[in-house]
Amino acid sequence: GAGVSQSPSNKVTEKGKDVELRCDPISGHTALYWYRQSLGQGLEFLIYFQGNSAPDKSGLPSDRFSAERTGGSVSTLTIQRTQQEDSAVYLCASSFGQGMATGYGYTFGSGTRLTVV
């Protein structure tokens, strides 16, 4: 596609429910990244995919968070048993090759605003 697409754009969920956030990267971009931005905070790295593999999951806050990528394209970030502190904007980015290591920058989607009530 022309850009990185994320859905839904907004999600309100009850505490304790599971949610799935979707990211559709730019066609041909092999690298995909998830970040989280809490209110008034900076961007927090969550996980990095190269193809369907996740060489770096170090930013996932707890075992309630998981992500997968299929076909080297679409990625889903799943949060189980949501808590109020999970409320944030979840941003996805993609890049060609290994992104910053090969000189290509990131392109970000518009994000999913998650509110846990």
Instruction: Please report, as ranges, the residues that interact with other proteins according to CB under 8 A.
Output: 6, 31, 33, 41-43, 45, 48, 50, 55-56, 59, 91, 93, 98-111, 113
Q: Which residues, in sequence order, are CB contacts of 117 under 8 Å at separation 6+? A: 12, 13, 14, 15, 84
Q: How far is the CB of 36 from other proteins (least distance, A)?
A: 11
- CA angle, 80 as apex, 37 and 29 as ends, to 5°? 55
Say which residue the tokens 């041909």 belong to: 28
CB 13 within 8 A of CB 117: yes
- Residue among 65 and 106 whose Cβ is closer to other proteins: 106
Q: How far is the CB of 49 from other proteins (least distance, A)?
A: 10
- Residue among 59 and 72 whose Cβ is closer to other proteins: 59
